[in-house]
């Protein structure tokens, strides 16, 4: 997954946009309020002020080309429904939405959302995961059974290329999106997307995408 549109720059949406961007994902931040969009400008790939309930506006902004759209609208459930329907019309392949009750989760799933999350429930799951697997504490569930995790490069993988590690089966089911080399903030070298010949450095960090069970397997061998 390389591109995500996050719609709704409230606290949840802005945090989602910033975190995905930090993890190396190309993020398009959208809100109908210019002040809300300005909060994340410069921290994401691009921003648009538009009505996400209008398929024409979404299409003009290129939203139909993203890998995933996140409907992070919190104040109006009706607006969330209209946004999901508009995203379906412009051909977005995967849609993640948020809701605060089981009834609303079912409604959004019925009209086309591929995954609907409740932030409080997801937060509890992340805390539990961090307790069970500390290596995966810095992770985010992006839906469809896929998680992004940023972690310190394990010692046994340092000084090896991704191609070498892949031949050993350690990365089975996983995709390394980026490698961050050690250094002062603002001066660190980042390889994104990571290449087969990238040598994992001592003291660096890596962002990995995959199913939770594959990430847990990877983490348990750290």
Q: Place 50 in a pLDDT band, splitting at 50, 70 and 90.
A: very high
In a domain, residue 189? The reply is: yes
3-class SS of residue 22 = helix
In a domain, residue 125? The reply is: no
In a domain, residue 19? The reply is: yes
DSSP string over 67-93: SEEEE---S-HHHHHHHHHHHHHTT-S
Domain of residue 43, CATH code:
3.40.50.720
186 near 192, Cβ under 8 Å?
A: no
User: Among residues 59, 91, 117, which one ends one of the domains?
Assistant: 117
Q: Residue 133: pLDDT above 60?
A: no
Mean pLDDT of 5-29: 92
In a domain, residue 44? The reply is: yes
Matching residue, tokens 């398929």: 55
The more confident residue out of 142 and 56 is 56
Regarding whether 102 and 184 lie in a shared domain, the answer is no
Domain of residue 189, CATH code:
3.30.70.1450
CA distances from 192 to 68, 110, 119, 141, 178 (A): 19, 36, 29, 20, 4
Give residues with Cβ within 8 angstroms of 166, minimum separation 6: 196
Q: Residue 82: pLDDT above 70?
A: yes
| pLDDT at res. 184 | 66
Give residues with Cβ within 8 angstroms of 146, minimum separation 6: 1, 209, 210, 211
In a domain, residue 126? The reply is: no
Give the chain's domain count.
Answer: 2
The number of C-alpha atoms within 13 Å of 159 and in the hemisphere containing its C-beta is: 2
Q: Residue 222: pLDDT above 60?
A: no
Regarding whether 175 and 110 lie in a shared domain, the answer is no
Regarding whether 93 and 28 lie in a shared domain, the answer is yes
3-class SS of residue 39 = coil
Domain assignment of residue 47, given as a range: 3-117
Regarding whether 11 and 68 lie in a shared domain, the answer is yes
| pLDDT at res. 154 | 86
Q: Percent of the chain at pLDDT above 70?
A: 88
Out of 85-89, 94-98, 166-170, 197-201, pick the least confident: 166-170
**CA–CA separation, 151 vs 176, rounded Å?**
11
Give residues with Cβ within 8 angstroms of 36, minimum separation 6: 9, 10, 14
**CA–CA separation, 9 vs 17, rounded Å?**
8
| pLDDT at res. 129 | 61
**CA–CA separation, 90 vs 118, rounded Å?**
25
In a domain, residue 127? The reply is: no
3-class SS of residue 141 = strand
Regarding whether 209 and 155 lie in a shared domain, the answer is yes
Regarding whether 141 and 100 lie in a shared domain, the answer is no
Q: Find residue 141's DSSP bridge partners.
A: 147
User: Among residues 67, 83, 117, which one ends one of the domains?
Assistant: 117
The more confident residue out of 118 and 40 is 40
In a domain, residue 123? The reply is: no
In a domain, residue 101? The reply is: yes
pTM of this structure? 0.60
Regarding whether 192 and 151 lie in a shared domain, the answer is yes
What DSSP character marks residue 9?
-
User: Among residues 86, 117, 148, which one ends one of the domains?
Assistant: 117
Helix (H) or strand (E) segment spanning residue 209: strand 205-210
| pLDDT at res. 92 | 94
3-class SS of residue 207 = strand
């Amino acid at each position: 997954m390389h591109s995500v549109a996050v719609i709704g720059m409230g606290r949840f949406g802005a945090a989602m946009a910033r975190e995905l961007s930090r993890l190396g994902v190309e993020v398009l931040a959208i809100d109908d309020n210019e002040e809300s969009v300005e909060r994340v400008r410069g921290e994401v790939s691009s921003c648009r002020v538009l009505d996400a309930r209008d398929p024409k506006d979404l299409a003009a902004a290129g939203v139909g080309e993203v890998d995933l759209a996140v409907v992070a609208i919190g104040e109006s459930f009706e607006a969330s429904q209209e946004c999901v329907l508009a995203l379906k019309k412009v051909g977005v392949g995967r849609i993640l939405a948020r809701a605060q009750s089981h009834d609303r989760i079912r409604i959004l799933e019925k009209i086309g959302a591929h995954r609907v999350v409740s932030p409080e429930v997801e937060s509890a799951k992340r805390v539990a995961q961090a307790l069970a697997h500390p290596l995966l504490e810095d992770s985010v569930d992006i839906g469809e059974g896929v998680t992004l995790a940023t972690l310190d490069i394990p010692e046994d993988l340092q000084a090896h290329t991704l191609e070498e590690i892949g031949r050993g089966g350690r990365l089975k089911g996983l995709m390394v999106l980026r490698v961050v080399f050690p250094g002062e903030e603002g001066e660190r070298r980042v390889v994104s997307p990571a290449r087969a010949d990238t040598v994992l450095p001592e003291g660096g960090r890596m962002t990995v995408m995959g199913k939770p069970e594959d990430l847990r397997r990877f983490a348990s061998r750290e």
